[in-house]
Structure 1
């Protein structure tokens, strides 16, 4: 193999593929080659060539990030079941030794056709049309490498405060990344959110929709990867597409045409982006606090 896969992961992946392809190669699945993908800052992963096909394999320490891939597999399946934006098929999510691993359909990167961003916007609107009875999800998952609680709520604003902003702010305070002044500013913001955020039915969300988690695959169709799925307000996904760049204006225009957004949505995007910004504070440090403070000034001044 080009890159060494831990032996426990090799055994787990082989067993999972053997179960999925019982014919195998004379009854045995053979792992042939592995090429590490670039850009994975949390989990090693890459292209796995085997005797029964080519797959995407990633793994990590099961004790450090417990349940990460089982939750991701469920999220991918929920998204795939909508039959809207393309989602890689989940082959297996399991544990082997001290490791956990995820085996997915391998998607060959492709060039983006002219209508790529329009199609992505239209299909995200179709995905968001999948709704649930409550905000949240029946299991916790991860946002990056941080735990993401999804305790169900009937109120979107209560969910956003208690399951999104407060946990990240508490983590930042405990790590001395946020001071008491910032905490008090957020507490004031919480009292104003009922007048700032509209309620809608809970939409199925990707949950981590930045430019690194959308790709062109299979003749250039838009494809979503690495989700942090839950049922929430659809503007959360759209807000994050504006945070780190990479989405063309045609994307939001096509979404807005497919499903009209309520007036004032650009300001609400800033509010919703407080969550990923706090996540970045906790993952990467105080440099992201300036953006957090900028949003707070917009709504507290």
Structure 2
């Protein structure tokens, strides 16, 4: 993104920029550290997008930020066709997984009367439909699973075997939730180890949310996909907000969502993990 030169940075609403340098910020956005007036900022930029590209993240940070530590959205706009979001800079430190567990449990205790969120989320491969829904089962099947399977098929990452077992999984899911009520908890929405950090006074921070009100087990399933959360995390979480018995039987249909998304994005190297879940149904 060659447009991000001195002249681009000089148009930001931050005055007296002393310097800026690229930092690692995930695979979706360009990310920079900016120093100005003795303060440090973190900026994400997305080429060829309007300012509202970051709306979902901003709304998520604001919702989560009422309950847990998050970066604060400071400025958002568009310069020369590139969207940007400026956040306060967090100095990374180390901290306790137990504190992280308590923070996530506290987040999940914030509830809503419907499932969904205030806006949709544009990802690389599809728009996540967050329209409000009274039924968790309907929301998860029709606003998450089915659109994902459709894209997997369009990308040539699907098979008859996967389709048959997927249908069985959906059937089991729907049958289970016919008789079990779910609270609409405020979720981070992408809770893997890359999206928490310890900063400042060793406190846990949640970053890069894909916020949605849903079954808290959807968030908890993500913590088990790629690791990075230890026994202390789960113990502290469970003391703060006890797990619903039988949770381990239900996590696979939520892990499926994340692993299938990786199958779509990164290819057949994620196929075996997806199939290991599907063969349970």
Same fold (TM over 0.5): yes
Corresponding pairs, count: 278
Distance across 2 between alignment mates of 1:66 and 1:8: 18
Distance across 2 between alignment mates of 1:285 and 1:252: 31
Aligned 1:17-166 pairs, distance under 5 A: 17=14, 29-38=15-24, 40-51=26-37, 53-63=39-49, 67-82=52-67, 85-112=68-95, 116-142=96-122, 146-166=126-146
Distance across 2 between alignment mates of 1:9 and 1:147: 29
Unaligned runs of 5+ in 2: none
Counterpart position of 1:227 = 209
Contact 2:25–2:31 (CA under 8 A) maintained in structure 1: no
Distance across 1 between alignment mates of 2:157 and 2:241: 38
Contact 1:62–1:95 (CA under 8 A) maintained in structure 2: no
Distance across 2 between alignment mates of 1:66 and 1:279: 26
Distance across 2 between alignment mates of 1:218 and 1:249: 24
Deviations 1:176-222 (CA, angstroms, capped at 9, x unpaired): 11123322322222221133354322011000000000001012100
1:192 matched to 2:192? The reply is no
Contact 2:51–2:84 (CA under 8 A) maintained in structure 1: no
Contact 2:165–2:279 (CA under 8 A) maintained in structure 1: no
Indicate the RMSD between aligned Cα atoms, in angstroms. Answer: 2.1
Match of 1:267 among 249, 254, 273: 249
3-state SS of 2:87 partner: strand
- Taking a change above 3 Å as real, the CA distance of residues 282 and 215 of structure 1, as seen in their structure-2 partners, is same
Distance across 1 between alignment mates of 2:221 and 2:123: 16
